[in-house]
Amino acid sequence: MATGTQEKLPDSGRLMALDYGRVRVGIAVSDALQITAQPFTTIEKYRNIDDLTDRIKKICDEKNIAGIVVGLPINMDGTEGEMAQEVRQFTEVLRRTFQAPVLLLDERLTSVQAHRVLQEAGTKLVRAKGKVDQIAASFILRGYLDRQIH
C-alpha cells in the first residue's frame, strides 16, 4: 500500500526500490518495461546521508532510473515507529536531491520474506546479510509493480 504524500511514478522506464537501514541499504531495479524486479546491490558502511545519496545517484545515473520506491517500515498494527520517521526524513532528502519522483510503500514483512528465500536456497544467513536487504528491496519493488495497471 502506498503511504503518505505521493508522487506519481512513470509508467515506463527503470524503477529503483530501496530497503533503507542505518547500516545497509538494499537496492533492487526493474527493467524498462517494469515487468521484473531484480535484487541489484547493497550499499554498506555509508558515512552519512550525503554519502548515501551520492552513491544512490551514481546508480540512478548508470541505470537510467525513472522513479524510486522507498520501503516504509510500518508496524504490524499499522503504527509508525522511530525507523519509519527516519525513512520519511530520508525520503524527503531524496525528493530534494533527485529529478526522479520518489514514492513510499509499506514494506511490512519484506525482510521476513527475504530471509525465507535465502533459507530455502540454503544460504547461510551470517554471510547473506547484504543479500537480505537487496532481496527485501526486490519484494518492495515487486509489490509496487504488482499494484500498477499499465
pLDDT exceeds cutoff 70 at 19: yes
Distances, alpha carbon 2 to alpha carbons 5, 28, 68, 92, 144, in Å: 9, 18, 13, 16, 8
Assigned domain for 4 exists: no
Assigned domain for 142 exists: yes
* Domain coverage including residue 88: 14-147
Assigned domain for 2 exists: no
Assigned domain for 6 exists: no
Q: What angle do CA 87, 64, 103 make, to 5 degrees?
A: 30
Query: What are 48-107's pLDDT values in tens digits?
Result: 999 999 999 999 999 999 999 999 988 777 788 898 999 999 999 999 999 889 999 987
Assigned domain for 7 exists: no
Assigned domain for 136 exists: yes
Assigned domain for 9 exists: no
The number of folded domains in the chain is: 1
Q: What is the mean pLDDT of residues 6-32?
A: 92
Q: Helix 49-63 to helix 82-97 angle, to the nearest 10 degrees? A: 60
Confidence band (pLDDT; 50, 70, 90) for 35?
very high
CATH of the domain at 80: 3.30.420.140
